[in-house]
A and B are shown apart, each in its own frame.
Chain A
């Protein structure tokens, strides 16, 4: 199975900050990389697919980059609604696997 790691595991940021989360795959996944936002009690929200493509309705403050094994999610101008846990996922190979998550809080 492809192992996914994320760093940091948590971070504290202020309103208006720009934050960057890193995701690394244990082998080349080309650009089969997605990012999700999870908040307690809410359905997960899909943010990015194919490493850098935004899903419909996702604001441009979210951006993704990378290819191969190293990827990043950047959130610009952090707002209260962005405080959540973010997960990366590879979907190049079954079983699809997720990173352990990065919690973004105040």
Chain B
């Protein structure tokens, strides 16, 4: 059974940093590009970032490029997806989901989502 468990959210001041984690199991993790998607307070969904299965290629939304860094750990018994967030802004406040695509490769939509971890940026 595919499981994605996101963690690391919390309250942070503007300009601060936070690292999100997503523990993945139940599938061959290194075969899949993984994404972060966020849902803002208004409810809208925004794709944030994606990393290739081997971790060598990363993609970012313009709104986070230069401030967020996606990475992954394909070793060990538990596989992890990470999102290092820096220079956080109030508009980064959202519920952050990790998401797995339905097939290997870059241009595929998602079949499984984590439960989300809440990031609140406020002074």
Q: B43 near A: Cβ within 8 Å?
A: yes
Which residues in B have their C-beta under 8 angstroms from that of A49? Answer: 102, 108-109, 111
Q: Which residue of B lies closest to A1 (CB)?
A: B62
Q: B91 near A: Cβ within 8 Å?
A: no
Q: A87 near B: Cβ within 8 Å?
A: yes
Q: Which residue, A34, A44, A85, A94, has most C-beta atoms of chain B within 10 A?
A: A44
CB-contact partner of A97 in B47, B97, B111, B116, under 8 A: B47
Q: Which residue of B lies closest to A35 (CB)?
A: B109
Q: Which residue of A lies closest to B4 (CB)?
A: A43
Residue interface bits B105-116, CB-to-A below 8 A is 1, else 0: 011111111111
Judge whether A96 and B47 touch: CB under 8 Å.
Answer: yes
Which residues in A have their C-beta under 8 angstroms from that of B108? Answer: 49, 91
Which residues in A have their C-beta under 8 angstroms from that of B62? Answer: 95
Q: In the complex, how many residues of chain B place their beta carbon closer than 8 angstroms to a beta carbon of chain A?
A: 25
CB-contact partner of A43 in B46, B50, B97, under 8 A: B97
Q: B90 near A: Cβ within 8 Å?
A: no
Q: Which residues of B contact A (CB under 8 A)?
A: 35, 39, 43-47, 50, 59, 61-62, 97, 99, 102, 106-116
Q: Which residues of A contact B (CB under 8 A)?
A: 32, 34, 36, 38, 42-46, 49, 55-56, 85, 87, 89, 91-92, 94-98, 100-101
